[in-house]
């Protein structure tokens, strides 16, 4: 056998075995509830009241202070049904 195989087998011989008799609870585990940081008490989710007012998205086609592109030109009946 090669040197690395012998080395790994020797390591396995001296490692502690894992069985049901050896398993016990880890005492160092911290139990408790983690907070949600600075946003824990806010009601800014999509399902809460006024969530639409708290969004920063402008409606599609809106241009701040300008006439929207789709309203700049008059309606042409030639394109009716092909838009």
> Got the DSSP string for 53-77?
TT--PPPTT--TTS--HHHHS---G
pLDDT of residue 45: 60
What does the chain come to in residues? 83
pLDDT of residue 5: 92
pLDDT digits (tens, 9 = 90+) for 3-59: 999 998 888 888 888 888 888 877 776 667 666 666 666 665 666 666 666 667 788
């Amino acid at each position: 056998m090669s040197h690395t195989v012998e080395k790994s087998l020797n390591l396995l011989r001296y490692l502690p075995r894992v069985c049901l008799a050896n398993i016990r609870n880890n005492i160092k585990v911290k139990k408790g509830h983690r907070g949600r940081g600075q946003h824990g008490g806010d009601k800014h989710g999509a399902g809460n009241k006024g969530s639409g007012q708290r969004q920063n998205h402008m409606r599609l086609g809106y241009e701040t202070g300008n006439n929207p592109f789709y309203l700049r030109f008059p309606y042409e009946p030639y394109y009716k049904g092909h838009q």
